[in-house]
Amino acid sequence: MNIITENISVKNETLTLTNQRAIFWKRENALILSDVHIGKTAHFRKHGIPMPDGVLQNDLERLKQLILYFNAQKLLIVGDLFHAEANVDIDTFQLWLNQFEDVQIVLIKGNHDRLSKSIVSKFDFEIEKELEITPFTFVHEHLKKHSEQFTISGHTHPGVRIKGRGKQFLKLPCFQVNEHQIILPAFSLLTGLNTRSQLKDSVCYAFTDTSIFKF
């Protein structure tokens, strides 16, 4: 797995974008990510929809390598860590967490994070509707009420559509950045890309396995 990085300056803070769909914030020693959607593959299989093997394991391995690469001590997950009701994927995630007992995890709730209290209580992490760590506000979805704050969010699964030869197009995930907010790409590889909406006056940092480039 290649980890490609690019530093950007936001509100006098250095944020490190990665081609592995997460941001590292050095001051807080924190990885910031969104839309992991744990439980999605098991949920679809339960309803008769075939899913490729190893999707969750691949996502968790990528997250493990990011934690080790940056020596991160905190995970800030801006929503949709989970996808659906309790299933075997939740158990897989719980076992995976055992290797990172010293890593603090904060979940900012997303629209899919609807597990019962009895399930959530099995996990030793903090759960918030919003989280403020100056100069940022962490939310799942940026709303009008956040217009006076700089938010870091997810939810929309941003991507870009790049025209190739003839009628060919390439879709890539991206970070969308403007003077008021950052929208993160979905961390899970099993997500669609929204290439139809872009923040006003934003820069898109798209990426591949080998590079990060901006539009």
Going 108 to 114 to 117 to 123, the CA torsion angle's sign is negative
Range with the largest mean pLDDT of 34-38, 47-51, 162-166: 34-38
Q: How far is CA 63 from the centre of its chain?
A: 10
* Residue range 115-173, pLDDT digits in tens: 666 677 778 889 999 999 999 999 999 988 898 899 999 999 999 988 767 677 889 99
In angstroms and rounded to an integer, the radius of gyration of the C-alpha atoms of the chain is: 17
* Residue range 177-201, pLDDT digits in tens: 999 999 999 999 877 788 887 888 8
- What is the token pair recorded at 152? 């870091």
CA dist 44 to 39, 41, 47, 68, 191, Å? 9, 5, 5, 31, 13
Show me where the domains of the chain are located. 5-214
pLDDT of residue 85: 64
- CATH number assigned to the domain covering 5-214: 3.60.21
Measured from the Cβ of residue 172, the count of other Cβ atoms closer than 10 Å reads 18
As a dihedral over the C-alpha atoms of residue 59, residue 65, residue 71, residue 73, rounded to 10 degrees, the angle is 20
